Amino acid sequence: MTWWLLVLSFVTLLLSVLVVGLLQSHAAMVRALDGLGADFGEHTRPGVGDAAVEPAGDERAATSLVAAEGGAVGMAARDVIGTDVSGNPIAIAVTRVERHTLLAFLSSGCLACHGFWEGLADPRSRAEAVGSRVSVVAVAKGVDSESPAAIAKLAGGNLATVMSNEAWDDYSVPVAPYFVLVDGRTDRVIGEGSAVTFAQLGSMLERAAADAAAARSRAASDLSRRGLLGIAGGVVDLTADSREPDTRAQERST
């Protein structure tokens, strides 16, 4: 009996030490995240969904917290200029175009990014996630931070990819993976945020479109009340393809 009590006491002590250690570790993480500006309550700004907080060091494993304040939603979008994976200069227009563009800020070393590279590089899964009306551009950092060969391998031959530190700065990207949705007709950022899994991307875009449509509708309603405009704003359908049916059929067949 005494022997049994000793064993139980030892196990209890051991478990207590483990619990205290875990609590300390958790407290340290909370303090670190708080220092980064993370919000553990409601989402504090219009984003495209669950966001990730940039982890310390190079591991960059995504969490499901809201990103720091000071986001890009509503700001004027900027076209993306950089190089391709072979070092050739490339410019991709996201403004003054009749489409939405999803800028996917990804890195080769980020574990959470690999699912997005894989999903976006495959035309079929990309179309399922974002629809055919949204153009997708992967944006990696420049050659001083990334291996072009690694990016080339991840992007494959079907995903438009730019290596550009400037674009990361322009959109104040806090973490990888990070996504910015640009409306090329208004030249504005209409959504941003991060996700943990590729499956979340579709719902993020739907939410961004709904938010943008609601914002426009509110603005139009305000104007209408003031007698400046007689009609309400429209609704964005990111999954709709406005091109003619024969064009879509050709696209599918290629």
Partner 1 sequence: MTGRLSAHGLSVALVPGWDVQILRRDESALLLASPDGDVPVGGYALPMIHAATITMPPLRGDYGSHVVPILGHDDVFIAMVEFGAESVGAAMFRPGFPVLRSRDFDPEALQRALPDRSGTQRFFTVAGRAFGLFCVIGSHLRRARLTSKANELLAGIEVDPA
Answer yes or no whether residue 149 interacts with partner 1 by CB under 8 A. Answer: no
Nearest distance, CB of residue 211 and partner 1, angstroms: 24
- CB-based burial of residue 28 (10 Å sphere; 0-12 exposed, 13-18 middle, 19+ buried)? exposed
Answer yes or no whether residue 185 interacts with partner 1 by CB under 8 A. Answer: no
Query: What are the tokens at 154?
Result: 């991840």
Work out the angle between the directed axes of helices 148-155 and 113-121 (0-180°, nearest 10).
Answer: 50
Nearest distance, CB of residue 145 and partner 1, angstroms: 20
Answer yes or no whether residue 122 interacts with partner 1 by CB under 8 A. Answer: no
Answer yes or no whether residue 153 interacts with partner 1 by CB under 8 A. Answer: no
Q: Which of 161, 164, 194, 200 binds partner 1 (CB under 8 A)?
A: 161
Q: Which stretch binds partner 1 (CB under 8 A): 34-42, 57-65, 94-102, 213-221?
A: 94-102
* Residue 104 DSSP symbol: E
Contacts 24+ apart (CB under 8 A), 61-65: 61/110, 61/111, 61/112, 62/110, 62/112, 62/175, 62/177, 62/194, 62/195, 62/196, 63/196, 64/196, 65/33, 65/38, 65/39, 65/40
Q: Which of 158, 186, 197, 221 binds partner 1 (CB under 8 A)?
A: 158
| Binding to partner 1, residues 61-90 (CB under 8 A) | 79, 81, 84-86, 88-90
Nearest distance, CB of residue 16 and partner 1, angstroms: 57
Can you tell me the distance from the alpha carbon of 193 to that of 174, in angstroms, rounded to the nearest whole number? 9
Under 8 Å between Cβ of 80 and 167: yes
DSSP H/E element including 208? helix 200-225
Nearest distance, CB of residue 127 and partner 1, angstroms: 12
Can you tell me the distance from the alpha carbon of 167 to that of 105, in angstroms, rounded to the nearest whole number? 9
Q: Which stretch binds partner 1 (CB under 8 A): 10-18, 51-59, 67-75, 242-250?
A: 242-250
Answer yes or no whether residue 186 interacts with partner 1 by CB under 8 A. Answer: no
Answer yes or no whether residue 91 interacts with partner 1 by CB under 8 A. Answer: yes
Q: Which residues bind partner 1 (CB under 8 A)?
A: 79, 81, 84-86, 88-93, 95-98, 101, 135-137, 155-161, 243-244, 246-247, 250-251, 253-254
